[in-house]
Homo-oligomer: A and B are copies of this chain.
Amino acid sequence: MASEQYLDDLTVGLRFGSRRLVMDSSAIKRFAAEFDPQPFHLDEQAAQGTLFRGLAASGWHTAALTMRLLVESEFRPAGGIVGAGLEELQWPRPTRSGDELYVETEVLEVRPSKSRPAQGIVKVRVTTFNQMQEVLQMYVGNLVVQRRPS
């Protein structure tokens, strides 16, 4: 499935993988300096005495990199990946320097829109793993996807 997927092409249970992307400490600190300047995201020493017991990426950094991997994956809904919102988002463990991120997307639900016949909503579970297959992040989101033009 290399080309764009219309709502009509997506069925419950379909799964899409991603490439792998390695997180490093300089990226963790750079993102944190701009968006989440807290000690446990900025400095190894300062992070030791915190809940994280060592440098940890901002959860929003994990979320942003997950989006990058999703956009580059084989999941290519027609009209782009446009999120209407999330039903839940979990960060079971922090992303660390050296973690190799991998994203798996599973289609949970496909609903044509009643009010807008040209589109519909696709519910997906997007899970971000590290190289140990540990879950770093999981969310369930609703995407707006175009229907195949008739």
Contacts and interface: CB of A to CB of B under 8 A. Distances in A.
A88 B91 contact: no
A67 interface: yes
A85 B90 contact: yes
Contact of A35 (B40, B50, B67, B89): B67
A37 interface: yes
B80 A91 contact: no
A144 to B, nearest CB: 7
B83 A64 contact: no
A80 B35 contact: no
A68 B38 contact: no
Contact of A80 (B40, B80, B81, B86): B40
Nearest to A63: B60
B80 A50 contact: yes
Given A83-B91, A85-B90, A68 B36 contact: yes
